[in-house]
Amino acid sequence: MKPFNKFIISAAALLAAAPALAQNTYSGYFLDNYNYRYEMNPAFGNSKNMVSFPVLGNFNLAMRGNLHLSDVIYNINGKSVLFTNPGISASEVMGKISNKNRLGVSPKIDILAVGFKALGGYNTVTLSARADVEASIPKAFFSIAKEGITNATYDIKDMTGYAEAYAQLALNHSRDIDAVPGLRVGAAVKVLIGAGNIDFRFNRAELELGTDAWRARTNGDIYASIKGFKFDTDTYEPKYEPADGQPLAPYDYVSGGNLDDFSAPNGFGLGFDLGAEYEWNDFRFSAAVLDLGFMNWGTTQWASTDGTREFTTDAYIFNANGDAVNSFDNEFKNLQDGISRLYQLKEMGEMSSRTKALGATLNFGIDYTFPLYRNLHFGLLSSTRINGPYTWTQARLSANIAPVKIFSADANIKVGTYGVGFGWLLNLNAPYFNLFLGMDHTVGKLSKQLIPVNSNAEFNIGINFPF
């Protein structure tokens, strides 16, 4: 396989269309009797003990981004084609592409969760499988892939991405502070066991078109922290003869990688959640910081340009002419291979370990109970994930109602890094049985394959047993 090549292209053409598991149901932050509020603020407790249905206790399907399926996949005569197809005009494609194109999913499956009252407060023990996948792709990448040699220079900056997966055991405790009426605090400690991580940072690719080839300056690194992973290398033979008659020399480069045998976990880490809630008259104020911590990855394979390097290459010139040697007939493969040829990464050896901070999340909430009907309350939630180039933020305004003890519902509007959306959650909390169903971002138009055309969508469902 070629994980980093496929990762980039999949981010543009496939990841935007593929569902994944989401981390939290933000529509439930203010909702009465929603059992997983503690995952967004560890100060929140439940009124009853509970145990989750294995795997289905808190199950989400979601995706997010500002690069949509309709931006990279087009329809020509009933056939779906990639944006690079010569039948699609460059002006149409580039008019849809942002300067910085973001795609991401944060999978989290709660395998088993247990909540109980003890030790003067409320406690939860949650076993989860988690992952993070993020990509940031600059507009210049799509420009060179679509326009070929239309321009004499291209500057591709800050094309980055990573994917990681790990298991998490979280212990949470929350309690009222008797000395300060209305104040409740909570904290969680998380033990993390890492399965693997791939991190690529293509910081720079400046291209200047010469007579028959590009003069390139590149800077990039790839780190692969997966047991049994090895880089593949290949030799590129230039196809064009420069005007000065001096042929370009063949060169070896890292072309991909292979996972021979996933033998064992390859990381260990710790994380902490801290939260507080204060009730004053008809208002409740809450704040939390989640995932303060680190992951230390073990054996890591490293490929790099070893700083900024300069060279001449003809490996990244495409032509819309179907008769040309470098035509779009095999555009998808050209794009995959072209990335690794462009950067000309070399194997730098094996690192014994590398440490990476977890992406932290900040949540701030204000909840107001409507005095004329106290089963209705309104909430404003601000959420920010701090994760370097993958940082995102959103604000969510919600109305929450609990007309009877066993039923509550939420409707909300959110706006943020990934645009505007409408969310909702229905929560049935009968004796000994809890079922919730909702969407943090309601699905809009679907393709013929029932894939959301917009890259933001989330479906939530959970089954739990309160007692």
Token duo for residue 157:
């900056």
Q: Coil, helix or strand for 135?
A: strand
Ranges of each domain in the chain = 3-271+301-352+394-466
Query: According to the model, what pLDDT value does residue 368 have?
Result: 97
Q: Considering the entire predicted model, what is its pTM?
A: 0.83
Helix, strand, coil percent content, the chain, rounded in steps of 5: 10, 55, 35
Q: Decide: residue 445, CB within 10 A, 0-12 exposed, 13-18 middle, 19+ buried.
A: exposed
**3-class secondary-structure state, position 212:** coil
Residue of 223, 168, 227, 174 whose CA lies nearest to 196 = 227
Residue (of 445, 336, 281) closest to 14 by Cα position: 336
pLDDT tens digit string along 340-389? 777 788 888 888 889 999 999 999 999 999 999 999 999 999 999 998 88
**Paired tokens of 320:** 């819309």
Let me know the angle formed at the C-alpha of 134 by 133 and 135, rounded to the nearest 5 degrees: 135
Quote the percentage of the chain above a pLDDT of 90: 42
Q: How far apart are CA 175 and CA 21, in angstroms?
A: 30
Report d(CA 247, CA 325) in Å as an integer.
17
Cα(120)–Cα(124) distance, rounded to whole angstroms? 13
Q: What is the pLDDT of residue 10?
A: 37
Which pair of tokens denotes residue 438? Answer: 């909702």
Instruction: Report d(CA 287, CA 278) in Å as an integer.
Output: 9
**Is 336 a residue whose pLDDT tops 50?**
yes
With residue 447 as reference, give the H or E element that holds it: none
